Amino acid sequence: MRKILTIMIVLLILMSSVAFAAGSKEAVDDGVIKIALVIPSTIDDMAWSQAMYNGIIAVQKEMGEDKVKVDISEMLWNAVDAGSAIMQYASEGYNLVIAHGAQYQSLLNDIAPDFPETTFAYGTGYSTDHPNIFAYDPFAQEGSYLLGMIAGMKTKSNIIGIVGPVESGDAIKFNKGFILGVKATNPEAVVRVAYTGSFGDLVAAGEIAKSQIAAGADILTGTAQQSVGAIRVAEGAGNVLWLSSDLDQSSLAPNTILVAQAYNFTKVVKEMIDSRSKGVLGGKHLPLTLENGMLQLVFNPQLDSELTAEMKAKIDTAKKQIIDGSLKIDIE
Amino acid sequence: MIQEFIVGIILGGIPLSVSLLLAGLGEMFTQRSGVFNLGVEGIMMLSAFIGFFVVYTIGSPFLGIIAAMAGGALMGLLMGLVSITFKASQGISGIGLFMFGWGLSGTLFRVYVGGVTTIKGINDIYIPVLSNIPIIGPILFSQNPLVYVAYLLVPVASWLLFKTSWGLKVRAVGTTPAAADTVGVSVVKIRYQSLVIGGVMAGLAGAYLSIAQAHLFADNITAGRGFIAVALVYFGRWKPAGIMGGALLFSMAHSFQRLIQVYGINFPYEIAVIIPYILVIVVLAFTWKSQSLGPLALGKPYDREFRG
């Protein structure tokens, strides 16, 4: 029995290594761009992952489905699982492998040198250790500054709540910019920040939103996938406004979501493809800013009456000042 | 300010305690009968999905809860099949059940629903007049209907376990199954029944999460609450009142840590987040020896032929 088992295992190993060798072909230039996307949640999470997915699909639509092939692996929060998916994609000859999360940075640093013809990308991040890695980097503080200005002008209770995930890179940038924005239009207002300690615990995010509202907040904002849980609570409360991040979430709660800071990943993906066609496979830091249009404010048309012309003018002026550099958002 | 803060802690803590209390009470019966079901988390996830899905398609929260409880019962039976009939190790089969529930609920959600979808579900009720009383009004008279159900189940569970002959059989089977067997109590039957009750309660806890608390479903919606419920059974020394105390203590500690963040009290949030867990460990460590022992046969599959 044991012998048979051993033979079977050996055969299995042999077969899988043959399959792997057969699969590992170099990228062929047949005019088709093969994009692989590895994401921590799902393509319809109404947050970070969906923003990138929408961007890639928009590029595919624009360039033609016969020109761009897209493949996606979802729910790869765990870096080990993500690593094997990334390797697989690279060895199958994908041209552009996007690992959509800051946690994939060191993985790409390990994998990228073995596939010099493949372009890898990750974000949020700025360091590119190898010439075939792009690091995209949303300047969330720019958009959140504008959101903060809106919150400062709209609050009646002078209490604004942030439902945060984990106090780390992205959330800190967003929150600091937001608080500066609030102070710019309403120095009296208090911004209360509370973290769930998780990215995906929707129930906990909802509970924090409830506590924030009970403690007087009438404007709420927050980042990460979990924000959906908080939006649901804000909607239920009736008289609370939510300011979104990552992508336009207004379809979730059309009477509650006033505006979104949205990431235009279409431009990011296009820039990477363009750069590739010019022979530059990576090695660049790609900031998403208001200036380059990769960061946008998307207003919910249904709540247009909530913002007066004066408010809009103020936001516009600040936006222009951020773009021309006369307004610096210091989050250090 | 202080009063507002304390009311805030209680108001935030009560909704949080419900899923822990319900799942904990169910697990208490399971463990009292000698089966250690670590799969509560998986049952909660699957039931949260079933409940959500029924409300999403049919629109009736009542049917959603019934369906979630039925799903929980089936999961309890499955645990019974593996751990009682096939006598598999309870710890391992519980973990298997957890993974099964997680995978199945996530997959069904992806296939039949897709992305983020909210449902109407069950909203908090405001009892007229009474809910306007300062302090106790919002605490006692403006909660979700399932909150009242959960707390009413505490005396019911206590009565069932300590005052009925069925409860006596459960305790006998969990303490000395061989003795119970010799006097004609079917160990297998009682354990199956307890597992089904545990499953139904975990199912209700899951339904509460998706239908009443979050009004949506997401992968891993329970986020560890089922495992905490299992721990609370030890914490509460296998007694309904103790489990309620544990659920309240844990939830209030959680609510407290959230409020100190909300009010901007200068305290590192990373430490605040772990306060509830530290508290539970400390209380567990200091109350362990002073009280009664747990079900002696807990975790041991019963085998008639084996007189070990």
B 134-193 near A (Cβ less than 8 A): none
For the record, the structure tokens of A253 come out as: 């709660």
Neighbouring CB atoms inside 10 A of B115's CB total 15
Which pLDDT value is given to residue B2? 83
Nearest-10 Cα torsion for A276, A278, A281, A283? -120
The answer to whether the Cβ–Cβ distance between B259 and A202 falls below 8 Å is: no
pLDDT band at B82 (very low <50, low <70, confident <90, very high): very high
Query: Is residue A94 domain-resident?
Result: yes
Tell whether B2 is within 8 A of chain A (Cβ).
no
A 206-225 near B (Cβ less than 8 A): 206-208, 210-212, 214-215, 225
Token pair 């009383």 in the structure block, residue: B133
Short-list B62, B32, B64, B24, CA closest to B48: B64
A210 and A131 within one domain: no
Among B11, B111, B262, B266, most A C-beta atoms within 10 A, so best to mutate, is B262
Which pLDDT value is given to residue A27? 47
- pLDDT by residue (tens digit) across A2-52? 666 666 666 656 655 555 444 444 445 578 999 999 999 889 888 999 999
User: Which residue range is the domain that position B166 belongs to?
Assistant: 2-113+131-287
Strand A119-123 and strand A219-222: pairing? unpaired
Query: Is residue A9 domain-resident?
Result: no
Tell whether A162 is within 8 A of chain B (Cβ).
no
A206 and A318 within one domain: yes
Neighbouring CB atoms inside 10 A of B73's CB total 21
A121 and A191 within one domain: no
Query: Is residue A59 domain-resident?
Result: yes
How many structural domains comprise chain A? 2
- pLDDT by residue (tens digit) across B173-183? 999 999 999 99
The answer to whether the Cβ–Cβ distance between B262 and A45 falls below 8 Å is: no
The answer to whether the Cβ–Cβ distance between B262 and A192 falls below 8 Å is: yes
A69 and A124 within one domain: yes
B18 DSSP assignment? H
For the record, the structure tokens of A11 come out as: 């055969």
Q: What percent of chain B clears pLDDT 90, i.e. is strictly above it?
A: 66
The answer to whether the Cβ–Cβ distance between A215 and B12 falls below 8 Å is: no
User: What would the mean pLDDT of B12-35 be, rounded to a whole number?
Assistant: 96
Query: Is residue A10 domain-resident?
Result: no
The answer to whether the Cβ–Cβ distance between A195 and B8 falls below 8 Å is: no
Nearest residue on chain B to A214, alpha-carbon basis: B8
For the record, the structure tokens of B56 come out as: 């999403």
Give A44's contacts in chain B (Cβ within 8 Å).
114-116
**From the list B12, B15, B114, which residue is nearest A44 (CB)?**
B114
How many Å is the maximal CA-CA distance in chain B? 65
CATH number of the domain enclosing B7: 1.10.3470
Query: Is residue A169 domain-resident?
Result: yes
How many structural domains comprise chain B? 1
The answer to whether the Cβ–Cβ distance between A44 and B116 falls below 8 Å is: yes
Query: Is residue B301 domain-resident?
Result: no
Would you say B191 and B84 are in contact if contact means Cβ atoms under 8 Å apart? Answer: yes
Give yes or no for residue B288 having a pLDDT over 70: no
Tell whether B271 is within 8 A of chain A (Cβ).
no
Residues B296 and B291: their CA atoms lie apart, in Å, by 14
A156 and A133 within one domain: no
Which pLDDT value is given to residue A324? 95
Which of helix, strand or coil describes residue A44? Answer: coil
The answer to whether the Cβ–Cβ distance between B115 and A46 falls below 8 Å is: yes
Average pLDDT for runs of 10 along chain A of length 332: 64 57 51 94 90 96 94 89 94 96 92 95 92 95 96 97 88 94 96 90 91 93 92 92 94 94 96 94 95 95 94 96 93 80
Short-list B34, B54, B75, B203, CA closest to B121: B54
Query: Is residue B307 domain-resident?
Result: no
Q: Count of residues for chain B?
A: 308
**From the list B213, B214, B258, which residue is nearest A208 (CB)?**
B258
Residues B27 and B37: their CA atoms lie apart, in Å, by 7
Nearest residue on chain B to A163, alpha-carbon basis: B262
Which pLDDT value is given to residue B289? 61
Please indicate whether residue B287 or residue A102 has the higher confidence score (pLDDT).
A102
Neighbouring CB atoms inside 10 A of B93's CB total 26
User: What would the mean pLDDT of B68-74 be, rounded to a whole number?
Assistant: 98
| ipTM exceeding 0.90, yes/no | no
A314 and A188 within one domain: yes
Among A192, A203, A252, most B C-beta atoms within 10 A, so best to mutate, is A203
Which pLDDT value is given to residue B142? 85
**From the list A190, A193, A201, which residue is nearest B261 (CB)?**
A193
- pLDDT by residue (tens digit) across B120-152? 899 888 888 888 888 888 888 888 999 999 999
A320 and A205 within one domain: yes
Neighbouring CB atoms inside 10 A of A254's CB total 13
Give yes or no for residue B106 having a pLDDT over 60: yes
The answer to whether the Cβ–Cβ distance between B216 and A229 falls below 8 Å is: yes
What is the number of CB-based contacts under 8 A between chain A and chain B?
93
Query: Is residue B187 domain-resident?
Result: yes
Short-list B153, B173, B223, B218, CA closest to B35: B173
Token pair 């296998």 in the structure block, residue: B238
Give B116's contacts in chain A (Cβ within 8 Å).
44-46, 228, 252
A246 and A184 within one domain: yes
- pLDDT by residue (tens digit) across B174-211? 999 999 999 999 999 999 999 999 999 999 999 999 99
Residues A189 and A96: their CA atoms lie apart, in Å, by 45
Tell whether B115 is within 8 A of chain A (Cβ).
yes
Query: Is residue B306 domain-resident?
Result: no
Query: Is residue B300 domain-resident?
Result: no
CATH number of the domain enclosing A59: 3.40.50.2300
User: Which residue range is the domain that position A68 belongs to?
Assistant: 18-139+265-288
Which pLDDT value is given to residue A23? 46
The HSE-up count of residue A140 (CA atoms within 13 Å, CB side) is 24
Tell whether A229 is within 8 A of chain B (Cβ).
yes
B59 DSSP assignment? -
For the record, the structure tokens of A239 come out as: 């008289």
Tell whether A248 is within 8 A of chain B (Cβ).
no
